């Protein structure tokens, strides 16, 4: 009896060690850094590459950063990247860091929206131009991200006009002028709200294209939260205009409400430090258009690994768009080929072997 219990305990322990091995097998991927699109003189016109643990290239050669379109038809050479090897206690380390910025000071810069054309990056090395590090945003995710970035640009333009009108209204002493300016300020409130609602839909769809990408998921959450804030602040501004200014006869009182509208529209554009911690995050009650843009750029983060780029891709949207963000039959089931299916099958197989083994031992002991 004692031996049977011991065997059962040993088998359970063996299975407990196997489970994390199976489930977390894919977390061993080594990443060396990121390439992130940012703003310099225009929207998405700059790229920041930050890497560590990079093996220096052979003497006389250098890594070269190249952006590539999803279908491989276009590329942009960003230039050479320097690997800085730190010196620790007088010893030069075997690997180094890359801190590279492509912006308005770089050769070849023309202010274009980089992500609108390119969703892949590779760091090449050697005379044959072989790829040492690379990453890509899935083509369908890139389409969704570009769509929400276009809507963010549109929201930004609407809010810039609205804020300028609200500013004029709060400093005017003419009640009719105040009402006219406020009317202009909130004229596009419905359009802004509709665009903001679209941000959340596109962010959700993009994240569904690669559910294992943390940057996609976190960026999408930031876009969704900020989009809800934008709608809330713009609608609040419209309510103030309709309820407190439309029928107002006192210019001084109307100025007070115009200032409130100005603040609400400014929050929709720039965000609001709701918890007064000195930063404005892409979260409920804080994020505005600026934070939505930053979150969208986070969604487009390229995570550099020591690998080659996959084959060229062509978007399947909208005609071949998968139901419910890639689920089988839209039922929320994992798509064919997802790693979780493979892991569960392997785990079930191992558990089956363990159970058969334990059962055989128990049966043998009972017979004897």
What is the C-alpha separation between 161 and 309, in angstroms, rounded?
A: 43
Q: What pLDDT is recorded for position 352?
A: 55
Q: What pLDDT is recorded for position 359?
A: 54
Cβ atoms of 302 and 135 closer than 8 Å: yes
Q: What pLDDT is recorded for position 366?
A: 55
Q: Name the least confident of 85-89, 127-131, 157-161, 238-242.
A: 127-131
Strands across the sheet containing 96-102: 75-81, 63-68, 120-125, 130-136, 302-305, 31-38, 46-54, 96-102
Q: What pLDDT is recorded for position 132?
A: 95
What is the C-alpha separation between 107 and 333, in angstroms, rounded?
A: 48
Inform me whether the pLDDT recorded for 266 exceeds 80. Answer: yes
Q: What pLDDT is recorded for position 36?
A: 97
**Encoded tokens for 307:** 């690998």
Phi, psi of 321 (to 5 degrees): -60, 125
Mean pLDDT for 99-106 is: 97
Inform me whether the pLDDT recorded for 321 exceeds 80. Answer: no
Inform me whether the pLDDT recorded for 27 exceeds 60. Answer: no
Inform me whether the pLDDT recorded for 85 exceeds 60. Answer: yes
Q: What pLDDT is recorded for position 317?
A: 86
Mean pLDDT for 105-123 is: 96
Inform me whether the pLDDT recorded for 20 exceeds 60. Answer: no
Q: Angle 189-208/214-240 helices, nearest 10 degrees?
A: 170
What is the C-alpha separation between 290 and 296, in angstroms, rounded?
A: 10
- Mean pLDDT over each residue of the chain, to the nearest integer: 85
Inform me whether the pLDDT recorded for 73 exceeds 50. Answer: yes
**Encoded tokens for 110:** 């023309």
Q: What pLDDT is recorded for position 126?
A: 77
Mean pLDDT for 144-172 is: 96
Note the pLDDT tens digit of each residue in 164-202. Answer: 999 999 999 999 999 999 999 999 898 999 999 899 999
Q: Length of the chain, please?
A: 368
Mean pLDDT for 66-93 is: 95
Q: Name the least confident of 51-55, 107-111, 322-326.
A: 322-326
Q: Which residue has the higher pLDDT, 347 or 310?
A: 310
Question: Which of 160, 181, 189, 193 has the alpha carbon at shortest distance from 258?
Answer: 181
Question: pTM higher than 0.85 for the full model?
Answer: no
With pLDDT > 90 as the criterion, what percentage of the chain qualifies?
75
What is the C-alpha separation between 316 and 328, in angstroms, rounded?
A: 16
**Encoded tokens for 355:** 């159970």
Q: How would DSSP label each residue in 280-306?
A: --SSTTT--HHHHHHHHHHHT-EEEES
> 């060229």: which residue's tokens?
312
Kindly tell me the burial class for residue 305, based on how many C-beta atoms sit within 10 Å of its own C-beta (0-12, 13-18, 19 or more).
middle
> 């075997």: which residue's tokens?
94
Q: Name the least confident of 106-120, 167-181, 204-218, 348-362.
A: 348-362
Q: What pLDDT is recorded for position 3?
A: 53
Q: What pLDDT is recorded for position 307?
A: 95
What is the distance, to the nearest Å, from the Cα of residue 246 to the centroid of all Cα atoms in its chain?
41
Inform me whether the pLDDT recorded for 135 exceeds 60. Answer: yes
Phi, psi of 165 (to 5 degrees): -70, -40
């Amino acid at each position: 009896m004692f031996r049977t219990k011991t065997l059962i305990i040993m088998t359970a322990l063996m299975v407990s060690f196997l489970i994390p091995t199976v489930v977390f097998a894919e977390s061993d991927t080594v990443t060396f850094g990121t390439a992130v699109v940012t703003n310099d003189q225009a929207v998405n016109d700059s790229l920041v590459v930050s890497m560590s643990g990079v093996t220096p290239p052979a003497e006389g050669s250098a890594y070269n950063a190249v952006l590539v379109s999803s279908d491989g038809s276009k590329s942009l050479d960003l230039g050479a990247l320097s690997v800085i090897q730190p010196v620790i206690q007088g010893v030069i380390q075997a690997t180094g860091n890359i801190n590279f910025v492509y912006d308005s000071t770089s050769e070849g810069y023309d202010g274009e929206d980089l992500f609108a054309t390119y969703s892949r990056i590779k760091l090449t090395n050697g005379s044959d131009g072989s790829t040492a590090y690379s990453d890509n945003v899935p083509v369908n995710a890139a389409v969704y991200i570009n769509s929400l970035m276009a809507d963010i640009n549109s929201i930004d333009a609407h809010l810039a006009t609205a804020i300028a009108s609200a500013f004029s209204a709060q400093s005017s002493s003419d009640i009719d002028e105040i009402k006219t300016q406020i009317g202009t300020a909130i004229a596009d409130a419905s359009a802004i709200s509709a665009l903001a609602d679209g941000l959340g839909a596109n962010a959700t769809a993009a994240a569904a294209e690669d559910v294992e990408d943390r940057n996609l998921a976190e960026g999408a959450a930031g876009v969704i939260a900020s989009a809800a804030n934008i709608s809330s602040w713009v609608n609040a501004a419209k309510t103030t205009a309709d309820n407190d200014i439309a029928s107002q006869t006192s210019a001084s009182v109307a100025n007070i409400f115009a200032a409130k509208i100005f603040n609400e529209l400014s929050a929709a554009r720039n965000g609001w430090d709701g918890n007064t911690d000195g930063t404005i995050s892409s979260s409920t009650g804080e994020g505005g258009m600026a934070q939505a843009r930053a979150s969208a750029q986070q969604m487009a983060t390229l995570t550099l690994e020591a690998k080659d780029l996959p084959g060229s891709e062509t978007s399947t949207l909208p005609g071949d768009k998968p139901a419910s963000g890639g689920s089988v039959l839209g039922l929320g089931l994992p798509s064919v080929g997802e790693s979780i299916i493979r892991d569960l099958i392997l785990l079930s197989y191992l558990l089956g072997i363990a159970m058969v083994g334990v059962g055989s031992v128990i049966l043998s002991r009972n017979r004897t």
